[in-house]
Amino acid sequence: MTVTVRFAPSPTGHIHIGNTRTALFNWLYAKKLNGRFILRFDDTDAERSRQEYADGIARDLAWLGIEPDQTVAQSGRFEHYGAAAEKLKAAGLLYPCYETPEELERRRKIRLSRRLPPVYGREALKLTDAEKSALEAEGRRPHWRFLLPNFADDPFVTSRTEVHWDDVVRGPQTVDLASMSDPVLIRADGTYLYTLPSVVDDIDLGVTHVIRGDDHVTNTGAQIALFRALGAEPPAFGHHNLLTTVSGEGLSKRTGALSVASLRDAGIEPMAVASLAVLIGTSENVTAASSMEELATLFDPTSTSKSAARFDPAELSGLSRHLIQVMPFDDVQDRLAALGIAGDDAEAFWLAVRGNLESVAEAADWWSIVRAKPAQDAVLSEEDRIFVHEAGKLLPQEPWDAETWRVWTATVKAETGRKGRGLFMPLRIALTGREQGPELAGLLPLLGREETLARLS
């Protein structure tokens, strides 16, 4: 059996780091087992779904290194859902209900006042055809509920009905179907809720493992029952813990909190996002994996905690910075070329500046400083101007290499008596226009003697 997983976002906004966690858990699980990854857009909500969001989600996943083996949109599969619904209706497992939200809320409160669980009492099953016709004559349209198999003979006399599964993430799990209401599968306007299309798609697409957030744990019992009602063996289920903001709030794609697009635009490295999204909230140390292959070796779904994990953007920045500081030139060459950084000096330049970058894009600023002119971020005092002018007279002759800076500054120190910050800072400002930056030992050969002398003068 080929392991087949799916990531099923609704294209109603930008995916955030929490959605990304689910996508990565599925992708890495399939990668470790040589399986298949399906990207399924749950776009049955025609009013809120947008193609631009679907395109953005695909782009975000590609940025992270996730390339689907198959892409499916639910909006093109309504006939399959309709056929499944008719099959359930014919079996007496999908029944019409006419209660308004207000009526349902009133019944819920009554049950609570009687110390009964607030589950739907299946009153609609008692309606006669005449009563249904009368309700429809009033203008009411039914919503449709799936009859859970939590009774022996009488649907109004439920009994404890346990559904068990060995969760890929959480281990053995049990849900009692008698503790929940019959789920609504079709709204009164004829549109489908999540459950029916999802189960039908999982059956048709051969999904073997459903890995998702643990907010779906209680849904799993009803979904397993629905798989069996449609004559299919349920897939394996796994439920990972959720991510929150540092303050403990839930993530929402509608607010754009920690969206993948915003992290990409901020210059965060994709493997930093992937590493933190996968390893946070597990027993693994959070480290910056350099590739998906490396991250797959660290990924173990069973090591995931059952409590929510707080996602700290500051930690993300640290991982991203580490990846940049050790990134080989070959891995970043194309990105540098897109920034205009190319030629014989490009590799030496990258090795000189990468240790001081927060993002690869910042390299363009330093390329301009080296190739054009110093920045204007710092100003020399008159005393320091005289000092750097004298230092220029002590510049060694070319050729220059990584030792030139040490040799030159040792000579300047001996001749002027300056040392420490008083020696190095004026030279840095004169050469780069900034008080902080890459080691000048690496930049000096890139500047060359003529340009260095011009800046010191």
Tokens of 223: 């979904």
| Contact yes or no for 50/31 (Cβ under 8 A) | no
Of residues 231, 196, 227, the one with CA closest to residue 74: 196
Q: Which residues contact 419 (CB under 8 A, 6 or more apart)?
A: 413
Cα–Cα distances in angstroms (integers) from residue 262 to residues 5, 71, 253, 273, 375, in the given order: 27, 24, 11, 11, 28
DSSP, collapsed to helix, strand or coil, labels residue 132 as helix
CA distance 270 to 260: 9
Please count the CA atoms within 13 angstroms of the CA of 349 that sit on its side-chain side: 25
* Angle, helices 17-32/270-279, rounded to nearest 10 degrees: 80
For 95, other C-beta atoms within 10 Å of its C-beta total 18
For 375, other C-beta atoms within 10 Å of its C-beta total 15
Please count the CA atoms within 13 angstroms of the CA of 444 that sit on its side-chain side: 24
CA distance 389 to 392: 5
Give the chain's length: 457
- Say if residue 253 carries a ligand binding annotation: yes
Amino acid type, 255: T
φ, ψ dihedrals at 206, nearest 5°: 70, 35
DSSP 344-413: TTHHHHHHHHGGG-SSGGGHHHHHHHHHT---SS----HHHHHHHHHHHTTPPPSP--TTHHHHHHHHHH
DSSP, collapsed to helix, strand or coil, labels residue 72 as strand
CA distance 347 to 343: 8
CA distance 166 to 338: 49
CA distance 368 to 366: 5
CA distance 269 to 65: 12
Q: Which residues does the annotation place in the binding site?
A: 253
Q: Which residues does the annotation place in the binding site for ATP?
A: 253
